[in-house]
Structure 1
Amino acid sequence: MISSILLVALGFGFFALIITAALSPLETLSWWAGWTEAELDDLKPIKKRDEDSGRQYVVYLSGVASLSGNFLLPRERAFIRRLRKSAPDTVIISDIFPYSPQGLPLLESPRLFDQIWRRVQKLKLDGRQSILSALINLRNIFQVMVSADHRYGPIFNQGAASVIEDALIKAGYPIKGGPPITIIGYSGGAQVAVGATSFLTARFSAPVRVISLGGVIASDPGLQYVSKLHHIIGDGDNIQKFGAIMFPERWSIVPHSNWNIAKHDERIKKYILPDMVHAGINGYFGRPTRNGISNADRLVKLVSNILET
């Protein structure tokens, strides 16, 4: 009986995965076609705060386990809190959902698998993992692939840039003559950050730098506009390594790709952190100490130093 239920659950999960993969570009295309214009209007800020050009503005984009910008994992929330404490004059925006060209969280839009996402959220809040939890990661990974795709990527990334733009203006970022913008992208969030950079640079006429935390990044055209990509890599992060292999244009045999040109121009700087994997207690936000310091401590210190430059 139990094995039958398990097989049905696995079959349903596989079916949901196939449907989600097939529909991944459709959300981007529907936004481009204007089918979701009313939803986008709801996202626009009602009133912009007073401008303060002396402040630094940082946007944080979560990893592929994200359900919404307001649902960060506890370790991510702790990282943001500590970063705010170490840089009190910095405005940090962390409520953006990067895996939708509209910025719509999975729980706040009429999606096909809405009940599944709500069930997964409850499991995560209870600190439990399940097969369903993997659907969130896979669904968002497909959106990362859309962002990196040469056909759909420019459309997706333009939508993501619009969401980031609205959030920056709402936080008080000056429309003209603003300071440099920093986007911190964890995992797949780094790809969305790079993809949005060209549009943000054009809209604000301000330099945009990206801090990648184990970022899975393609050789995106946005790299032509990134003023600096600080690529932080854990030496045990096999997911990030797989990402570097998965995109052939990042290989050294393609010297004229966007990635390799940025490397040649010294606009990509790598930081390799020891004893660090992609996620979990030994991941970038891990709290267990080793030699008196945790991964979270090292990460906050490194990112704070980058923000000061």
Structure 2
Amino acid sequence: MNGFLLWALVLGPVLLAEGLLARYELLIYGAGWRTPTSELPSGVPYARGAEPDRPPAAYLVYLDGIGKRRVRDSRDGGQLVKALLEGAPELRVLGQVQPYSPLADPLADRPVWTWLRRRAGLLLFLHNVVQIFVAADHRYRPLYNRAVGVQIATQLQRAGYQAGSGVPVVLLSYSGGAQVATGAVELLHATLRCPLVLITLGGFHNGANDIGHAEHLYQLTSAADRIERVGTWLFPQRWRWARTSGWNKAARAGKVTTLLLDPATHVGPFSYISPTAELPDGRTHLARTADTVIRLIRARQNAIKDDTLP
């Protein structure tokens, strides 16, 4: 009990401060006091995979979960992106977008967070969790959607995407990245005039964003994913009776397909991207997830030709 009280005394003020300050970056963006950065560190490519000198089969933007702290990192050390590139070299893949920073400012590169990371790394995750709820808040959602939508569009164009080219853009999101992905649809549609496909992996989002301009959304989930289910319970826009929400309108229009990746969990040694947990067919959870994403992308491409879907 004493240990619990100590943690409460330490984290209580931190949680309060984070809750009060979480909006500051978005407000700075909205006021125009700082311009979002679009340059990447030296040696970091704008995309990997197919070369931009000829149109790739699709551009894939990976929006990671709350573990995203810098340009290069991801919760699995980049293993999912690597598996996608190995399995589908025809894709051009971007993994540098900062879903939890309207100013596209990597969290781990900020001096105060560098100091905190050495002493209280949990706060890095806490910051990104709070950003998800800022992005979902109806007061800030339009501005947040625009900020990160512009960031994604800019990175795509720097990676060689030509507006109006007809090359599909796939937004692959993990966990809270789904809130950002669904929020970026409107701006990407208007700015790049691109066919959009969304793939959520354990997607945690409020269901309020209008995804009507997306061709389709594939919801990859699992009965063992408790965190994803919390999102469906927590946000009323995900409830079936909320018929006017963006999520339910898309579902009624036949634009949402749910695929189960049982028995994967949201995080941990049996997560969707585990390189060690094995299925009865011998594949790892990571390999199955990558295979599924690639199959869905290729199915959409074939659908353009023959008007059929699996």
TM-score tier after normalising by the smaller chain length: 0.7 to 0.9
| Residue 98 of structure 1 pairs with residue 93 of structure 2 | no
Q: 1:15 to 1:51 in 2, by over 3 A?
A: farther
Match of 2:88 in 1: 87
1:63 equivalent in structure 2 = 65
TM-score by length of 2: 0.86
Alpha-carbon displacement from aligned partner over 1:229-248 (angstroms, at most 9, x marks no partner):
11100210000000011110
The answer to whether the 8 A contact 1:235-1:274 is kept is yes
Q: Are 2:198 and 1:210 equivalent residues in the alignment?
A: yes
CA contact (8 A) 2:63 2:181 kept: yes
Q: Name the structure 2 match of 1:271.
A: 259
On the 8 A contact 2:200/2:218 being kept in 1, the answer is: yes
Contact 1:44 1:166 in 2 (8 A): no
Structure with the bigger RCO (C-alpha within 8 Å, sep 6+) is 1
| SS at 2:211 equivalent | helix
SS for the counterpart of 2:215 is strand
Cα distance in 1 for residues equivalent to 2:243 and 2:87 = 39
Matches within 5 A, 1:153-172: 153-172=141-160
Does the aligned pair in 2 maintain the 1:70–1:96 contact within 8 Å? no
Contact 1:59/1:93, CA 8 A, preserved across alignment? yes
Q: 1:102-251 to 2 correspondence within 5 Å?
A: 102-109=103-110, 113-117=113-117, 119=118, 132-251=120-239
Question: Which whole-Å CA distance do the structure 2 matches of 1:110 and 1:35 have between them?
Answer: 20
1: distance between equivalents of 2:186 and 2:215?
10
SS at match of 1:100: coil
Corresponding residue SS for 2:200:
strand
SS in 2 for 1:183: strand
Choose which of 23, 26, 30 in structure 2 pairs with 1:25. Answer: 23
Q: Provide closer, same or farther for how the CA distance between residues 235 and 50 of structure 1 changes in structure 2, counting only shifts above 3 A.
A: closer
For structure 2, list consecutive stretches of 5 or more residues without a partner in the other structure: 300-310
Residue in 2 aligned with 1:301? 291
Opposite residue 22 of structure 1, the aligned amino acid is L
Aligned length: 290
Q: Distance in 2 between matches of 1:44 and 1:208?
A: 28
**Cα distance in structure 2, aligned partners of 1:240 and 1:70:** 25
Assess if the C-alpha contact under 8 Å between 1:234 and 1:275 holds in 2: yes
Structure 2 equivalent of residue 261 of structure 1: 249
* Correspondence for 2:307: none
Using the alignment, how far apart are the partners of 2:52 and 2:72 within structure 1?
24
Q: Hey, what's the Cα distance between the residues in 2 that align with 1:44 and 1:158? A: 24
Secondary structure at the counterpart of residue 21 of structure 1: helix
- In structure 1, the gaps of 5 or more residues are 121-131
Residue 162 of structure 1 deviates from its aligned partner by 1.3
Checking the alignment, whether the CA contact within 8 Å between 1:62 and 1:69 is kept in structure 2 is no
Normalised to the residue count of structure 1, the TM-score between the two structures is: 0.86
SS of the equivalent of 2:190 reads helix
Does residue 290 of the first structure (1) align with residue 279 of the second (2)? yes
Residue 143 of structure 1: SS of its match in structure 2?
A: helix
Q: Give 1:52 shift.
A: 3.2
Does the CA contact (< 8 Å) of 2:261 and 2:272 recur in 1? no
Cα distance change of structure 1 residues 253 and 139 upon mapping to structure 2, 3 Å threshold: same
- Cα distance change of structure 1 residues 84 and 154 upon mapping to structure 2, 3 Å threshold: same
Aligned to 1:40: 37
Q: Extract structure 1 runs of 4+ deviating beyond 4 A.
A: 6-10, 41-45, 47-51
Measure, in 2, the Cα distance between the counterparts of 1:226 and 1:63. 21
Amino acid at match of 1:99: Y
Q: Does structure 2 retain, via aligned residues, the 8 Å contact 1:76–1:285?
A: no
Secondary structure class of the residue paired with 1:210: strand
Q: 1:236 to 1:217 in 2, by over 3 A?
A: same
- Could you give the per-residue CA deviations for residues 186-228 of structure 1, whole angstroms, max 9, x where no partner exists? 0001110111111111001112111100010112233232221
